[in-house]
Amino acid sequence: MNKPIFGIILFLFLLPISPIFSQEYTDTNPTLTVSINSNSNFIYQDSEGYTVVIGLIENNDPLAFLTNVVIEASFYDDFNPNPLEVKEGSTLLEVIPPNTKSPFMIRSDNPDITQVSTKFLTFDTSESMNNLLNISIKDVSLQPITSLSDTVYNLSFLGILQNGDTSISDTVTHLAFYDVFNRIIQISTIEIGDVDTNELVSLKLNEQINSSSVGFLLFSESDKFYSDVMDVKISPPQIIKKLATISDVTVTDTLGRTLSEIKIGDSVKINSETIIYDEKAGKWEQTPYRFYIQIKEDTSNLDTPPTIEYIGKYDDKFLGNGVKSQSLNWIPEKQGLFFIETFLWDRNHVPIAVQGPLVSILVN
Contact present, 155 and 176 (Cβ < 8 Å): no
Question: So what's the pLDDT on residue 48?
Answer: 83
Helix or strand holding residue 140 (H, E): strand 130-146
Q: What pLDDT tens digit does each residue of the chain (364 aa) get?
A: 444 443 433 333 333 333 222 232 333 334 457 888 777 899 988 888 889 999 999 999 999 999 999 999 999 998 889 999 999 999 999 999 999 999 999 999 888 898 899 998 999 999 999 999 999 998 888 876 654 445 567 888 999 999 999 999 999 999 999 988 889 999 999 999 999 999 999 999 999 888 788 899 999 999 999 999 999 998 755 444 557 889 889 999 988 999 989 999 999 999 999 988 766 666 667 888 999 999 998 876 666 677 888 999 999 988 888 889 999 999 999 999 999 999 998 877 778 888 888 898 999 9
Q: Give the CATH number of the domain where residue 260 resides.
A: 2.70.50.60
User: Does residue 82 lie in a domain region?
Assistant: yes
Domain that holds residue 149: 130-233
Query: Which residues, listed in sequence order, are joined to residue 193 by a DSSP beta bridge?
Result: 171
Q: Strand 308-319's sheet: what is its strand order?
A: 261-262, 359-363, 336-345, 286-297, 308-319
Q: Residues in the chain, how many? A: 364
Q: Give the CATH number of the domain where residue 175 resides.
A: 2.60.40.10
Closest CA to 152 of 177, 181, 128, 125: 177
Report the domain count for the chain: 3
Question: So what's the pLDDT on residue 347?
Answer: 77
Spatial separation of the C-alpha atoms in residues 173 and 182, rounded to whole Å = 20
Give the CA distances from residue 162 to residues 133, 156, 166, 204, in Å, rounded to whole numbers and listed in that order: 6, 20, 11, 14
User: Does residue 316 lie in a domain region?
Assistant: yes
**Alpha-carbon torsion angle 141, 146, 152, 156, nearest 10:** -20
Same domain, yes or no: 275 and 334: yes
Report the predicted TM-score, pTM, of the whole model to 2 decimal places. Answer: 0.71
> Which amino acid, 56?
L
Contact present, 74 and 55 (Cβ < 8 Å): no
Spatial separation of the C-alpha atoms in residues 195 and 193, rounded to whole Å = 7
User: Does residue 13 lie in a domain region?
Assistant: no
pLDDT digits (tens, 9 = 90+) for 68-122: 999 999 999 988 899 999 999 999 999 999 999 999 999 998 888 988 999 989 9
pLDDT digits (tens, 9 = 90+) for 34-58: 888 777 899 988 888 889 999 999 9
User: Does residue 8 lie in a domain region?
Assistant: no
Spatial separation of the C-alpha atoms in residues 344 and 330, rounded to whole Å = 19
User: Does residue 101 lie in a domain region?
Assistant: yes
| 3-class secondary-structure state, position 22 | coil
User: Does residue 3 lie in a domain region?
Assistant: no
User: Does residue 17 lie in a domain region?
Assistant: no
